[in-house]
Amino acid sequence: MTATVTDQDVLESRSPATGELLATYPVDDATAVQAAVERAREAAGWWRDLGFDGRKSRLQAWKHTLVRRIDELAGLMHDETGKPLDDARLEAVVAIDHLGWAAKHAAKVLGPRRVPSGLIGINLAASVEYQPVGVVGVIGPWNYPILTPMGSIAYALAAGNSVVFKPSEHSPGVGVWLADTFAEAVPELPVFQVVTGFGATGAALCQAGVGKLGFTGSTATAKKVMAACAETLTPVLIEAGGKDAAIVAADADLDVAADAITFGAMGNAGQTCVGIERAYVESAVFDSFVEKVKVIAEGIQIGTDEQLGPITMPSQVPIIQRHIEDALANGGRAVVGGPESVRAPYVHPVVLVDVPEDSEAVREETFGPTLTITRVDSLDEAVRLANGGKYGLGSAIFSRSRKTAMDVARRLRTGMTSINGVQSFAMVPSLPFGGTGDSGFGRIHGPDGLKEFTRPKAVTRHRFKAPTRPLTFTRTTKDVVNTLKLLRILHGKG
């Protein structure tokens, strides 16, 4: 959607492809956001007290609604972001799968469990459980308007929190639709609400006293969010930008690599946090790899109902243009497209080679259907260059050798790596998703994603009178001597 402000209270939602007015939404100010958080606080206790089973059945009811109405949801995503309908459907499939996983596994991951108390604490029974933080604020981007926020929303809800969600100004309709369908499954209290508006609405959510703030968006906004949250010591989860690299080893299946990497770079018009923006290819297969990518990229169909839709956010178009021009001005060569590929609101595929490592096209997030391909002499060089930037979100390695691929995957300084494919880690609900460096910290998805929206609660129960009583004023010197003896037995040897 292209968002415009007509007056202070209205957010106009327009198709990025045609400019058609889709709907209008309120611009929620700080008072409205605060009121939503207060309502969420009241709902949070009831939702927590439903317990894991009560929440699971309600989340599953919501999941069934989403499955039933998936075409409606995908249509809305298509209208607002311009992404191809099938991409929207597939995104919804993965998001719904995550919702199902979170609902099903929350009890096992977060519920109370006994832990060994050790010999020094032999008289103690020790247990840990993960309690909800209360209200979770979620701020989301527009590029994957259901998958990325669902990574926080579903997991926070399954963990027993209520949620106030601020969707991007470019995809408010998807956010409102999600909250409306949730309310059909859980009509009792406003456990999941949406506030709409621009950046100021998000900023108000950061200052509204939520128990945790889950942010997904650009690194620049992430810094503002952290600064705002610092004022109230509100903990934050940051899922920020990326500049993912793919490495192609000389022994890779080049057809598989070219197919996957071209999709990783151009899919969703390149507007993917874990989009492949750089490829490092071993010298022996460089030319054939470039040729295969060229053929695939040149065959991509562009248009509203085609494989590659418009650039959702008009302000991104000049950034993409600048990266292409900068790369070419600094010695890069375009093997597919060039500056003329930028035809707003569309950007046609651009593949660049020989681009210097210090240029913007290699170092900064482009967020368009572009790919740089760089020749390397060894996998060591590929890993060094891939790890060279400030981001560390996802990555990919293509090799027929499982050992080589695993070795490279472990050495890549990113939160996730896929082998012989791209972005597949996002489809596995039991895997954590998140980055390092300028890509942020904390994790959505999987057991880590559930724990992210909780605080651990440790409990010790004194089962019987201890042989020594170290934490009393009645302890004797002998108690201390006996404890020291135990220490020497346990840890003093070797």
Q: Side chain identity at 148, as an amino acid letter?
A: T
Residue 168 within binding range of ligand NDP, rule CB under 6 A: yes
In the set 91, 206, 273, 282, the catalytic residue is: 273
Q: By CB under 6 A, tell whether 166 contacts ligand NDP.
A: yes
Closest CA to 156 of 455, 457, 452, 456: 452
Spatial contact of 85 and 45, defined as CB atoms under 8 Å apart? no
CB of 322 to ligand NDP, least distance (A): 16
Q: Which is nearer to ligand NDP, 221 or 395 (CB)?
A: 221
Sign of CA dihedral 249, 253, 259, 263: negative
Of 43, 96, 273, 276, the one binding ligand NDP (CB under 6 A) is 273
- Per-residue binding letters, 337-376, with ligand NDP (x by CB under 6 A): ----------------------------x-----------
Selected binder of ligand NDP within 217, 368, 429, 432 (CB under 6 A): 217
Q: Residue 354 and residue 299: Cα distance in Å, rounded? A: 23
Minimum CB–partner distance for residue 221 and ligand NDP (Å): 3
DSSP string, 405-473: HHHHHHHS-SSEEEESSSSGGGG-TTS-B--EETTEES-BSHHHHHHHTEEEEEEEEE-S--SS-TTST
CB of 12 to ligand NDP, least distance (A): 13
In the complex, minimum distance from the CB of residue 150 to ligand NDP, in angstroms, rounded to a whole number: 11
Provide the phi-psi class of 134: left if phi over 0, else alpha when psi is between -120 and 50, else beta: left
* Least distance (Å) between residue 317 CB and ligand NDP: 13
What letters, b where the CB count within 10 A reaches 16 and e where it falls short, cover 228-244?
bbeeeebebbbbbbbbb
Among 80, 87, 91, 169, binds ligand NDP (CB under 6 A): 169
Q: Which stretch binds ligand NDP (CB under 6 A): 155-163, 167-175, 246-254, 348-356?
A: 167-175
Alpha helix stretches (DSSP H) within 276-333: 283-298, 317-329
Stretch (H or E) spanning 157? helix 147-158
148 binds ligand NDP (CB under 6 A): yes
Q: For residues 440-449, b (16+ Cβ closer than 10 Å) or e, as one string? A: bebbbbbbbb
Decide: is 87 part of the binding site for ligand NDP (CB under 6 A): no
Instruction: Determine, following the binding rule CB under 6 A, whether residue 143 of this chain makes contact with ligand NDP.
Output: yes
**Residue owning tokens 């997030």:** 365
* Site string (103-142) toward ligand NDP, x via CB under 6 A: ------------------------------------xxxx
- Binding-site member from 136, 157, 179, 240 for ligand NDP (CB under 6 A): 240
Q: Which is nearer to ligand NDP, 217 or 389 (CB)?
A: 217
206 is catalytic: no
Show the site string, 309-328: x = touches ligand NDP by CB under 6 A, - = not.
Answer: ----x---------------
Among 206, 247, 296, 408, binds ligand NDP (CB under 6 A): 206
Q: Which amino acid is at 149?
A: P
Number of residues lying near ligand NDP (CB under 6 A): 33
Helical residues (DSSP H) of 50-146, grouped into ranges: 51-68, 70-81, 85-110
Name which of 201 and 399 has its Cβ closer to ligand NDP: 201
- Is 229 marked active-site? no
Nearest-10 Cα torsion for 69, 71, 77, 80: -100
Q: Rounded to the nearest whole angstrom, what is the least distance from the CB of residue 301 to ligand NDP in the complex?
A: 24
x/- string (CB under 6 A) for ligand NDP, residues 426-445? ---------x---xx-----
DSSP letter assigned to residue 315: G
Q: Give the chain's count of helices (H) and strands (E).
A: 16, 23
Other CB atoms within 10 Å distance of the CB of residue 463: 11
Nearer to ligand NDP, 237 or 351 (CB): 237
CA 329, CA 325: separation in Å to the nearest integer? 6
Binding segment (CB under 6 A) for ligand NDP, from list 55-63, 218-226, 250-258, 289-297: 218-226
DSSP 210: -
Q: Which of 30, 35, 70, 198 binds ligand NDP (CB under 6 A)?
A: 198
Residue whose CB is less far from ligand NDP, 228 or 376: 228
Task: Look at the block and give the residue holding tokens 């929440």.
Answer: 55
Active site residues: 239, 273
